[in-house]
Chain A
């Protein structure tokens, strides 16, 4: 961009007027601003605090909290073990072991045998969610999932799928219809008789 480009907008700092140079009027102005806040909050009108355990905080729609692994209509994990999320992850906290999908799974060749996210290393950037081609991994609005030890915060596939069960009604999957609520829910996660982690 040239220096005389007409689209260039120059920022000129405002020059202080005489009374502003004395600072004191400005300080009084500042006191009025904070005084207004103090008054309105102390009278119980302006405070924006959420009294947490009693009132639950509702994060905004694009808040990025704990991950979940989505299930498809048949209750199977949607992940096809393409490793795109693990590759995209800047914190290198996703560890996936892929395996050949069972014969009956006609829609894909592979699925994830194990899927581990270290939630302590994760920076909740949402890159994994962006990278996933089948919308299998999503970040939920859950912010109060905690653990008592470091080990508990390393989430395996079971845990991630259970987060899905926890949030499926509150947050429908963004790109597919949510599983039907009525009727018996498909609970089988793994086809029986397959090697791999127990659900």
Chain B
């Protein structure tokens, strides 16, 4: 790889990180607005026109607030935990395509790399990678609970990690159906398959539902937000955290939301594909930009849907949460997997 290709990749990493952080800041504003509207309120409207400067105010608050590190915590681990959870959420973006990806030449130059809407294009195990690094966030949760040296945080950490690990199973298995149908773990190939045939939601309705539900649980969104239920469980694993360290958990969670929204769109809503309008044969910068825009639009819709769900469903009780994962979703996902495997086998042997 040439020097300029490396520069281009670093540049792209900077852009993606910057944009996602900015997006997170404004997503929090959107979330607060939707929360307000769902409750017949107005929402933040004081900072700037229509409250558009609110993210800046929130950020300033996070930075300027007193950052308390209690005397009784295990200090290195206590500081490490939020870092782990934000880094784990961020590295997943490496393989998320933000638009169509064309095959790279053997020795890519600066503009070849820049033209790709993905930091690491052509990773054959894309989904596997996202799931793997995404689940590293559990270490952040466990460490935070352990290092806080408080019973609330410790129990909260155990509770949250049990939830995260349980829902990882249906999350992974619900994807497998789509993977088998498309015959690849690479996100681009999956999108291209959907472009040629049908959207994933038609091919795998049950898989979609299971993936949607378990991604709610994975990202700690309501109705599965036990890790942060302030009222009844006293916070959970981040009880002892304040200011920016708490903010990092929060950012990590939101980055997760963005990642799973991308996954939902890419796996089940055809990515940047619009049937009969945008197809994979249309190449060139203009089409690439249009497709990237379509993708971002779809992702935004999914994120808004996730926020909408938040004000619709009540929070789960812990035992029902576990029951849902182990007694309902895992058997269903196995059934879905077996059924898909049979159908795929039959179709392949015909063709």
Name A residues whose Cβ lies closer than 8 Å to a Cβ of B.
Answer: 24, 27, 30-31, 33-35, 37-42, 46-49, 51
Contact = CB atoms under 8 A, between A and B. Distances in A.
B37 A41 contact: yes
B309 A37 contact: no
A67 B64 CA distance: 39
B312 interface: yes
Interface stretch (B16-24, B38-46, B282-290, B293-301): B38-46
A76 B311 CA distance: 55
Contacts of B41: 41, 47-49
A51 B44 CA distance: 11
Contacts of A34: 38, 308, 311-312
Contacts, number: 48
Interface in B262-278: none
Interface residues of B, number: 15
B34 interface: yes
A24 B313 CA distance: 11
B309 A38 contact: no
A41 B42 contact: yes
B42 A38 contact: no
A49 B42 contact: yes
Contact of A48 (B34, B40, B309, B311): B40
A38 B34 contact: yes
Contacts of A31: 308-309, 312
Nearest to A33: B312
B131 interface: no
Contact of B312 (A27, A40, A42, A48): A27
Nearest to B33: A42
A30 to B, nearest CB: 4
B44 to A, nearest CB: 11
Nearest to A44: B42
Contacts of A39: 37
B36 interface: yes
Given A27-B312, A41-B37, 19 more contacts: A30-B312, A33-B312, A34-B38, A34-B311, A37-B38, A37-B40, A38-B308, A38-B311, A40-B40, A41-B36, A41-B41, A41-B42, A47-B37, A47-B41, A47-B42, A48-B40, A49-B41, A49-B42, A51-B42
A27 B209 CA distance: 13
Nearest to A50: B42
**4 smallest A-B Cβ distances: which pairs?**
A41-B37, A49-B42, A38-B37, A30-B312
A42 B34 CA distance: 8
A168 to B, nearest CB: 34
Contacts of B311: 34, 38
Given A27-B313, A30-B313, A41 B40 contact: yes
